[in-house]
Structure 1
Amino acid sequence: MGRRLTLYIIIGMVLGIVAGWILHSSLAADDPRLAQWADYFKLLPDVFLKLIKMIIAPLVFATIVTGIAGMGDSAALGRIGGKAIAWFLSASLTSLGLGLLLVNLFKPGVGAGLEPAEELGKLDTAELTLRHFILEIFPSSAFDAMANNNILQILVFSLFVGVGLTAIGEKGAPVVRGAEALAELMLQITGYVMRFAPFAVFGALGSVIGTRGLGIIVTYGVLVSEFYFAMFLLWVLLFLVGAIFLRGRVITLFRYIREPLLLSFSTASSEASLPKLFEQLDRFGVPRRVSGFILPLGYSFNLDGSMIYMTFASMFIAQAYGIHVPIGSQILMLLTLMVSSKGIAGVPRASLVVIAATLSQFGLPVEGIALLLGVDTFLDMGRSATNVVGNAVATAVITRSEGMLQPLHDPDADVPPAPTDSASGGRHGLNVDPEQYEA
């Protein structure tokens, strides 16, 4: 199913662009039927994303609980968590710095002479505070966190459950087995949901092209192309660092995550690819107890694509309005984005909220965000895919540094084999010989 699904997704992308172009060419912009048909197209990705969100909370909970309970070694948990945070902070700073460097080099907004064309709507920047961030980490209700798919809060609750199960030993064994069964069930459901992915891709692109036309790609072509070049350089950096640890397997990693990348890119949602990314990292040889801990953490703290977008977008707006921002202020802006972007959990339209708050703080026109709304979908497609790359490389590298990387499995197998980690064949043990699995 693997190769066929990739092919079907690509076919869906092409057909979506063609269908959107036909729709846009057939109906006038003010024709109410255009909006109606675009809404019908958009129904497909909306349904797909709802199905994906249905899976995420129980999958994240089950994988973290079984992973921590299986580790048994709190020192290993702390060591992996420390490496993950160190990687996330370094990657975020690199992404922000690269975006700032390239936007000053390319100057995509200089001479734009653009005027805000759309209403921004309400962005609740008042919640973007240290108090909000700290409170947002801790759930007042596990059920509320799961109902809202708040990954950070689910992570905290799952940590407590996993550590608690480790502490009570055999008494918690039935709960651990239940969590393992739940994880397998969610992956089986993921397989069913993924069959709908090509239709979701078709609908997403059909809706965007239908309402805005192919011209929207050309209108902001300079900004989009330069932003994608910046993300390409970030991908190269990430894979080069990955190659230091993974050596030749870093190329194989890219091949294994091609489907999650396509899903995130075509639906403009990092979240859409999370269940599939779990599966592919299984096949790459990352034990579920490691990916189940690092990936949810990464989806809260390691959004490399969003990071590079924030500096790029902020400086593009300043350039478009002809406002000179001294290098000292740019560095302060970078550090502000570095901190504030870690507090966006639970805030609607997160990237735009962070950018709006930063623009306001540095005296730049907040309404300039309207300049980006026309192509935000296309920019979001790239940054969502980049978020997937960043988290996949981080997870694989940290796993390799712990000596836990397993042999490769067939990336296109319908059912991913569960990586075993111990000499006894258990799924969650820590008795791994690091030399056994050299790349």
Structure 2
Amino acid sequence: MGKRLTYYILIGLVAGLALGLAINGYYDDDGGPGTKFAAEIAGYFSIVTALFLRLIKMIIAPLVFSTLVVGIAHMGDTQALGRVGFRAVAWFICCSLVSLTLGLILVNLFQPGVGLAIPVPPVDAASGVDRAAFNIKDFITHIVPSSMVDAMAKNEILQIVVFSLFVGVGITAVGEKAAPLVRGVDALAQVMLQVTNYVMRFAPLAVFAAVTATLAEQGPSIIGRLAYFMGTFYIAMGLLWCLLIGVCFLIVGRRTALLVKYIREPLLLAFSTASSEAAYPRTLEALDKFGVPPRIASFVLPLGYSFNLDGSMIYMTFATMFIAQAYGIPLTIGHQITMLLVLMVTSKGVAGVPRASLVVIAATLAFFDIPEAGLLLILAVDHFLDMGRSATNVVGNAVASAVIAKWEGNLDPLESPVIDPLPAPSGHGPRVDRDSFQG
């Protein structure tokens, strides 16, 4: 069933490409009534994608809370939790530096903004991106939820992680008295995994609608005008994938090939919907299938969604330098190193901020006196770039979880029972290796 779902998603992707281009080619008339009608059609298709993403958001909060609390409770002691947390944060920082540096090196190598064949927006043009959406003070205070109900209602993953940490550590301290609560939260996790299976059945339709809507409205022309910029950025992401998977191979070994196999479906889902969040439940299941104990995956993965967005990292340096090149603004090596460090700090506060990468880029442009209007150059193709960024984020967090599980010496043997990608025809829920919760 898992392979069939992947094939259905691929079919939806290809069908969406064909229908989207057909609608745009038939109705597009350079801003006339036909173009507006194509945009209206795209709006109707977007309803399907929006519904699917809302279904995903519906299950994210209880899934993160239940799996993380159970994972911490089964770690047995706060020392193990601290060790895993330290290793996760250290890995995230190293990966962020590598991603930012790789983007900086490759944008200087490819020079996609030099000699741009399209008009550069006036320096005083408004980009429409609100830089006030992020600042250090708000980020620090925003980490701790004022209300767990509010954090869950808004799907604030970082706040949910903080609250879950407190609950999990509290359960560990209470000990046997909290056993009924652990069983209840464990049952909630299994129910949410089952609900995930139901929701994922709509994924092919959502992918079809998302791709159709995007191409019906945008058409292939905008891609053509910025093809070199997009192509070089995808080359950069491909190299980052190779680097991440290569490091994983050095640490985890030949078993890394299985990780690549298991994350194909969540990766494809993230790419086609341009949403890392849409792939979260399936990534969690793929890691369990690979052998990462739920107590580690359920801790590292949500933390990674807040601090380890490798696709967004490489995009920030790449896009910022592209805009500087387009305006002919030279940046010295010192400026570029400073930019890398600024992005390294500010990017850690973008969790939950809409269009987070663009917000951080806008703030960075202002810091170096680069016209913020340059964002208008990439806004038109940002959705297509976001598809690659989202897929890269899935790869980065899957690799992080596998590596940390290996460091902990807790990768389950391959013969262990794992979660089935979809429920069996008999209607039974997903099978879970109960022993893996014990590490």
SS state at 1:6 partner: helix
Alignment partner of 1:114 is 2:128: no
User: Which range moved further: 218-227 or 379-388?
Assistant: 218-227
Is the contact made by 1:257 and 1:280 (CA closer than 8 Å) also made in structure 2? Answer: yes
- Distance in 2, Cα, partners of 1:276 & 1:263: 9
Q: Report the CA distance between 1:123 and its aligned residue.
A: 3.0
In the aligned structure 1, how far is the partner of 2:296 from the partner of 2:403? Answer: 11
Aligned CA distance change for structure 1 residues 273 and 119 (closer, same or farther; 3 Å): farther
Give the drift of 1:124.
Answer: 3.1
CA-CA distance at 1:407 after TM superposition: 2.2
Q: Is the 8 A contact 2:269 2:279 kept in 1?
A: yes
- The structure 2 residue matched to 1:361, chosen from 367, 371, 377, is 367
Contact 1:268 1:384 in 2 (8 A): yes
Amino acid at match of 1:17: L
Mapped partners of 2:419, 2:180: distance in 1: 31
Q: Distance in 2 between matches of 1:342 and 1:114?
A: 33
Q: Which moved more, 1:412-421 or 1:328-337?
A: 412-421
Match of 1:177 among 172, 180, 183: 183
Deviations 1:50-93 (A, max 9, x none): 00000000000001110111111211111100000000000000
In the aligned structure 2, how far is the partner of 1:429 from the partner of 1:316? 49
- CA distance in 1 between counterparts of 2:419 and 2:119 reads 46
Contact (CA 8 Å) 2:288, 2:419: kept in 1 or not? no
1:248-270, Cα deviation, whole Å (9 max, x unpaired): 11111000000000000000010
Q: Distance in 1 between the 2:324 and 2:127 partners?
A: 20
> Hey, what does 1:59 align to over in structure 2?
63
Equivalences for 1:281-300 in 2 at 5 Å?
Answer: 281-300=287-306
AA paired with 1:396?
A
Q: Structure 1 residue 93 and structure 2 residue 93: aligned? A: no
Matches of 1:121 and 1:186, distance apart in 2: 40
Q: TM-score, normalised by structure 1?
A: 0.94
Alignment of 1:145-164 (within 5 A): 145-164=151-170
Deviations along 1:312-337, whole A, 9 cap, x unmatched? 00000001111111111011000000
The residue that corresponds to 1:84 in the other structure is 88
Alignment deviations for residues 345-400 of structure 1 (CA, whole Å, 9 cap, x no partner): 23221110000000001100111001001110110000100000000000001001
In 2, Cα distance between the equivalents of 1:122 and 1:22? 30
Partner Cα distance (1:119, 1:322) in 2: 17
Residue 249 (1) aligns with residue 251 (2) = no
Tell me if 1:414 matches 2:422. yes
Assess if the C-alpha contact under 8 Å between 2:420 and 2:431 holds in 1.
no
CA positional deviation for 1:220: 1.2
- Structure 2 Cα separation of the partners of residues 413 and 377 of structure 1: 28
Q: Which secondary structure does the structure 2 equivalent of 1:355 belong to?
A: helix
**After alignment, is 127-136 or 360-369 more displaced?**
127-136
SS in 1 for 2:438: coil
Aligned to 2:22: 22
| Distance in structure 2 (CA, Å) of the matches to 1:115 and 1:193 | 43
Aligned partner of 1:43 in structure 2 is: 47
Report matched runs for 1:272-311 at 5 Å. 272-311=278-317
Is the CA contact (8 Å cut-off) linking 1:13 and 1:201 kept in structure 2? yes
User: TM-score of the superposition, structure 2-length normalised?
Assistant: 0.94
- The equivalent residue for 2:350 is 344
Answering whether residue 274 of structure 2 is matched by residue 265 of structure 1, we say no
CA deviations 1:259-314 (Å, max 9, x no partner) are: 00000000001000000111111111111111110000000000000000000000
The 3-state SS of whatever aligns with 1:4 is: helix
Cα offset for 1:209? Answer: 0.7
SS at match of 2:411: coil
Spell out, residue by residue over 1:72-127, the C-alpha distance to the aligned partner (whole angstroms, 9 max, x if none): 12111111000000000000000000000000000000011532399755433234
Q: Secondary structure in 1 aligned to 2:437? A: coil
Of 120-129 and 141-150, more deviation after overlay is shown by 120-129
Shift of 1:215: 2.3
How far 1:169 sits from its partner (Å)? 1.5
Q: Kindly state the Cα deviation for residue 172 of structure 1 after the two structures are TM-superposed.
A: 1.3
* Alpha carbons 2:127, 2:373 under 8 Å: kept: no
> What is the deviation of 1:232?
0.7
Deviation at 1:217, TM superposition (A): 2.6
User: In structure 2, how many angstroms separate the alpha carbons of the residues matched to 1:375 and 1:223?
Assistant: 10
Classify the secondary structure of the residue corresponding to 1:428: helix
Q: 2:438 aligns with which of 411, 429, 432?
A: 429
Which residue of structure 1 aligns with residue 74 of structure 2? 70
CA contact (8 A) 2:304 2:397 kept: yes
Structure 2, unaligned stretches of length 5 or more? 424-429
Q: Who is 2:426 aligned against?
A: none
Give the drift of 1:166: 1.1
Q: What code does the residue aligned with 1:348 have? A: P
> Deviation of residue 414 (structure 1)?
2.7
Q: Measured at CA, do residues 418 and 360 of structure 1 come closer, stay the same or move farther in structure 2, by a change above 3 Å?
A: same
**Range moving further from structure 2, 210-219 or 65-74:** 210-219
Aligned residue type for 1:265: F
Amino acid paired to 1:109: G
- For the Cα contact (< 8 Å) 1:62–1:179, is it kept in 2? yes
Q: Which residue of 1 aligns with 2:224?
A: 218
Q: Which of the residues 381, 396, 403 maps onto 2:402?
A: 396
What's the secondary structure of 2:283's corresponding residue? helix
Structure 1 residues 127 and 23: CA distance shift in structure 2, 3 A: closer
Aligned equivalent of 2:138:
132
- For 1:180 and 1:81, the matched residues in 2 are separated by 21
Instruction: Specify the code of the residue in structure 2 equivalent to 1:18.
Output: A
Specify the code of the residue in structure 2 equivalent to 1:77: L
Aligned counterpart, 1:436 = none
Instruction: Tell me how far apart the structure 1 counterparts of residues 375 and 334 of structure 2 sit (CA, whole Å).
Output: 23
Identify the range of structure 1 (219-228 vs 344-353) with the bigger mean alpha-carbon deviation: 344-353
